[in-house]
Amino acid sequence: MQHREDQVPPSTAPTFNRIAYAAAHVVVDPSRAYEPWSDTPPVDWDATLAFRSYLYGLGFKVAEAMDTAQRGMGIGWSTAAELIRRSIAHARSIPGADLACGAGTDHLDGTRSHALADIVGAYKDQFEVIESAGGRPIMMASRALCAAAQSADDYKHVYDAVISASRNKVVLHWLGDAFDASLSGYWGSRDVATAMATVLDIIRIHQDKIEGIKISLLNAEYERQLRSQLPEGVVMVTGYDYNYGELIAGDSSGHSHALLGIFDPIASVASRALVKLAAGDTDSYRQLIDPTVALSRELFAAPTQYYKAGVVFLAWLNGHQRHFSMAGGMQSARSVAHYAEVFRKADVAGVLTRPELACRRMREFLSLAAGIDN
């Protein structure tokens, strides 16, 4: 079992030469009575916000109320809205803390179709919650829009209406169907090149209102293609949890910034890697970041949408929460064998920051979940 003393978060947050958002998970409170499969679980606010303090201390920005926070898979809009308000207020208490928050249409009834005007209104409602609290929006992909749109023009209409009304710059989010099958054919086409042309049209029209676009298609070449065509002032924010190391480092064609769920469990190592990158020491950056990729590939293995289970599992092993329970009971979405492999690869990657605690909790988990005692 590896142990590195320099994994302890620094008292002064480091600075990076890349925008680095960590999409953060939510800690539920299983000691309270609630319906485990509902989308309004009781949240342990102290533990949830403490984890965000930990990320800020390591130099990360926070991407709040996103997919990693089980948005739409255990966390509904009412809980997400409270999370957003609390997280924005919490960030104000921490010098230098910065965050952006997910805005979508997930408060619409998912069992029926919706008119484009209703989808625009739903986006604006969530933008208002974020912006009235003093936050900046990440415009999440909409299941309702994907179901309702008949053409690329319908996407352009909705995005034009919402972005034009935003008080702040917006980060767009292209989430692939590996994460959410209901988003297949987003931007009006299942052909990636055609979809890319549509989103580029939207970005070029609104480039003064768009900070960047996060792309989560699990394909590095698609990301490089889109990155090369972005107008000046709009950044590529990788969401590729497999090849993030090389995309962030960059090459002759440029580099990507990052908004990653994997930054949540690998924060201690990723922070040190990004410091090395900022200092121009690419070799040391790769020595630190590359071993985390094998862990990420395990966490994000198909069915990819259940990666959150491994994220929370590692938070528990590292002592960021007192239990391994999740909204929607998602801890049951992965096998014991998967969690054992996550533990092994996390050790190799050096992300088990409290090794003795992690080993003890792993033994407890194996005994309870699989009857394995040693």
Q: Which of 63, 53, 54 is nearest to 22 (CA)?
A: 63
Residues 268, 60: Cα–Cα separation, whole Å: 10
Instruction: Please tell me the predicted confidence (pLDDT) of residue 8.
Output: 42
* 37 band by pLDDT with thresholds 50, 70 and 90: confident
- Lowest mean pLDDT segment, chosen from 84-88, 249-253, 345-349: 249-253
Q: What does the pLDDT average to over 360-365? A: 97
In percent, how much of the chain has pLDDT > 70? 97
Cβ atoms of 118 and 108 within 8 Å: the answer is yes
Q: State how many domains the chain has.
A: 1
Instruction: Please tell me the predicted confidence (pLDDT) of residue 36.
Output: 84
Residue range(s) defining the domain that contains residue 257 = 11-292
Q: Is residue 113 part of a domain?
A: yes
Q: What does the pLDDT average to over 283-298? A: 97
Q: Is residue 79 part of a domain?
A: yes
Q: Is residue 324 part of a domain?
A: no
Q: What pLDDT digit, counting tens, does each position of 314-343 carry?
A: 999 999 999 999 999 999 999 999 999 999
Instruction: Please tell me the predicted confidence (pLDDT) of residue 308.
Output: 97
* 11 band by pLDDT with thresholds 50, 70 and 90: low
Q: Is residue 55 part of a domain?
A: yes
DSSP state of 353: S
Residues 100, 284: Cα–Cα separation, whole Å: 29
Mean pLDDT of the chain: 94
Q: Is residue 53 part of a domain?
A: yes
User: Which residue intervals of the chain are DSSP H helices?
Assistant: 45-57, 77-92, 116-132, 143-148, 152-165, 192-205, 220-229, 244-249, 267-278, 282-299, 307-317, 336-349, 355-370
Q: What is the CATH number of the domain that holds 46?
A: 3.20.20.70
Q: Is residue 183 part of a domain?
A: yes
Cα torsion angle, 55, 59, 63, 68, sign: negative
pTM: 0.94
Q: Is residue 342 part of a domain?
A: no
Residue 1 has pLDDT above 90, yes or no: no
Instruction: Please tell me the predicted confidence (pLDDT) of residue 6.
Output: 38
Q: What pLDDT digit, counting tens, does each position of 98-144 carry?
A: 999 999 999 999 889 999 999 999 999 999 999 999 999 999 999 99
For the record, the structure tokens of 283 come out as 């070799």
Residue 289 has pLDDT above 60, yes or no: yes
* 12 band by pLDDT with thresholds 50, 70 and 90: confident
Please give the single-letter amino acid code of residue 274.
L
Residue 3 has pLDDT above 70, yes or no: no
Question: How many other C-beta atoms can be found within 10 angstroms of the C-beta atom of residue 137?
Answer: 27
Cβ atoms of 202 and 170 within 8 Å: the answer is no
Q: What does the pLDDT average to over 225-246? A: 94
Q: Is residue 179 part of a domain?
A: yes
What SS3 class is residue 306?
A: helix
Cβ atoms of 31 and 71 within 8 Å: the answer is no
